Amino acid sequence: MNSQKNNTYFNPVKILKNQNWFKNINNIFERENIKNPLIITSKGNYKRIGIKEKFHKYNIINDVPSNPTIEYCDKKINDIQNFKIDSIIAIGGGSVMDAAKVFIASLNIINKSTLELIKHKDAIGNNITSIFIPTTHGTGSEVTMWGTIWDMKNKVKYSISHLDLYPNYAILDHQLTESLPEDLSIITLMDALSHSLESIWNVNRNETSTQYAIKAIDIIMKNYNNYNRKNLLYASTLAGLAFSNTKTAIAHSISYPLTMEYNIPHGIASSMTLIQLLILSESEIQYELNTIYKKIGINDLNEFIDNIKSIYTTKLSYRLRDWGVEKKDLIPLVDKCYTKDRIENYIINIDKNDMLSILKEIY
């Protein structure tokens, strides 16, 4: 077992729950005297939410792609350096919020490339008010201080991470998630389930992070069938509050090459190992598991595993073979999946042979 640290819980984000997001933004604009916001969103949300009509007076970035890259962020940083901006409003899923964190850093520390911002460890500053509004119920990025940026050419995944990158506000309005297609809903709720479990089997956990995670799992397991967006969005933010203090662990370490090399959506890649990891971790997290079983009305790990399996549909397999991975790929995958710092967050010591066994189990 890896040694556990004893940390005090910290998260500074002001969460406005069950709010009318647009009304709330305008209230914050007034309260914080915001005059020149930069709106960040994806093409899909730009159309779907009517961003152009709602924010016609302001600068808008409306083309954040899935898994934003270094090149994309560099180009946008260049475009916005000359804008007069006092705040960033990120409206979207994880990718939009990831990119928005790079832009916040770039507006505080000018003339730096994305890679330089990622490497910057001194204070970033907080001259830019940030308001994050999730449109999916999985990422939790509205309450974390990091964003994931990709270099697809060289198959490298980077994290921009700094205390100054916690958003100032997170507005939760489930109406923005109502039109999520069923597949995307399952993918994102599985990511939230992964964040919750990753924060429980984590050496950095503390009492508060574990309480948030258990509450998130309780809500997810009671709502994955009925797609109650209001509850699933809240669960996703609770899971974010949990892993904002612990970081992710082994399930996410394994997920990144699966997304980069096989295009497995993040929520699937980050959750396809959960069952194996639950089996491995059971004795170390028995107390937390018992609390979860009691809350959701089941008796043991077998029932919990059956529930998790039932979330996947035939369209969303948790088997590597169904996503184009070949058996011969498993050995080369071991090294790529083994990111030392994330593996060390896991409460159990895992070596590369264990990693191969896990990959074989989900093959």
- Tell me how far CA of residue 44 lies from CA of 65, 96, 225, in angstroms: 10, 11, 25
User: What residue spans of the chain are helical by DSSP H?
Assistant: 21-31, 43-48, 51-54, 70-80, 94-108, 114-119, 182-200, 207-223, 229-246, 250-262, 266-269, 274-281, 286-296, 301-311, 330-337, 340-345, 352-361
Q: What is the dihedral of CA 229, 231, 233, 236, to 10 degrees?
A: -140
Closest approach, Cβ 194 to Fe ion, in A, equals 6
Collapse the DSSP code of 148 into the 3-class scheme (helix H, G, I; strand E, B; otherwise coil) and give the result: strand
**Rule CB under 5 A: is residue 253 a binding residue for Fe ion?**
no
Rounded Cα gap, residues 320 and 262, in angstroms: 9
Q: Contact between 244 and Fe ion (CB under 5 A)?
A: no
Q: Minimum distance from CB of 338 to Fe ion (Å)?
A: 18
Stretch binding Fe ion (CB under 5 A), from 44-52, 70-78, 267-275, 288-296 = 267-275
Q: Considering beta carbons, is residue 164 or 191 the nearer one to Fe ion?
A: 191
Q: How far is the CB of 195 from Fe ion (least distance, A)?
A: 6
By CB under 5 A, name the one of 142, 173, 191, 218 that touches Fe ion: 191
Nearer to Fe ion, 77 or 254 (CB): 254
Distance in angstroms (rounded) separating the CA atoms of residues 164 and 135:
23
Beta carbon nearer to Fe ion, 209 or 270: 270
Measured distance CA(305)–CA(332) in Å, rounded:
28
**Inter-residue contact 187 to 135 (CB < 8 Å):** no
**How far is the C-alpha of 264 from the C-alpha of 323, rounded, in Å?**
7
Q: Is 271 in the site for Fe ion (CB under 5 A)?
A: no
Judge whether 186 and 316 are in contact, CB under 8 Å. yes
Minimum distance of Fe ion from residue 184's CB (angstroms): 14
Of 188 and 210, nearer to Fe ion (C-beta) is: 188
| In the complex, least distance from residue 126 CB atom to Fe ion, rounded to whole angstroms | 25
In the complex, minimum distance from the CB of residue 29 to Fe ion, in angstroms, rounded to a whole number: 31
Which tokens sit at 310? 């039932």
Please state the length of the chain.
363
Residue 237 interacts with Fe ion (CB under 5 A): yes or no: no
According to DSSP, the residues that pair with 147 across neighbouring strands are: 160
Task: Work out how close the CB of 258 gets to Fe ion at its nearest, in angstroms, rounded to a whole number.
Answer: 12
Q: How far is the CB of 266 from Fe ion (least distance, A)?
A: 6
Binder of Fe ion out of 129, 141, 196, 270 (CB under 5 A): 270
Q: Does 108 bind Fe ion (CB under 5 A)?
A: no
A 10 A CB-CB count for 11 gives: 17
Options 23-31, 42-50, 74-82, 263-271: segment touching Fe ion (CB under 5 A): 263-271
Choose the binding region for Fe ion from 32-40, 45-53, 229-237, 265-273 (rule: CB under 5 A): 265-273
Site for Fe ion in 41-100 (CB under 5 A): none
- Candidate ranges 57-65, 70-78, 191-199, 314-322; the one touching Fe ion (CB under 5 A): 191-199
Nearest to 200 by CA among 137, 94, 265, 292: 292
Pairing type for strands 156-161 and 146-151 reads antiparallel
The 151-190 site mask, x for binding Fe ion (CB under 5 A), equals ----------------------------------------
* 251 versus 350: smaller Cβ distance to Fe ion: 251
Closer to Fe ion at the Cβ: 136 or 210? 136
Query: Residue 147 is inside which H or E element, if any?
Result: strand 146-151
Q: Select 196 or 270, whichever has its Cβ closest to Fe ion.
A: 270
339 binds Fe ion (CB under 5 A): no
Tell me the closest approach of the beta carbon of residue 238 to Fe ion, in angstroms.
14
Applying CB under 5 A, the site for Fe ion has a residue count of 2
Binding residues for Fe ion, rule: CB under 5 A, are 191, 270
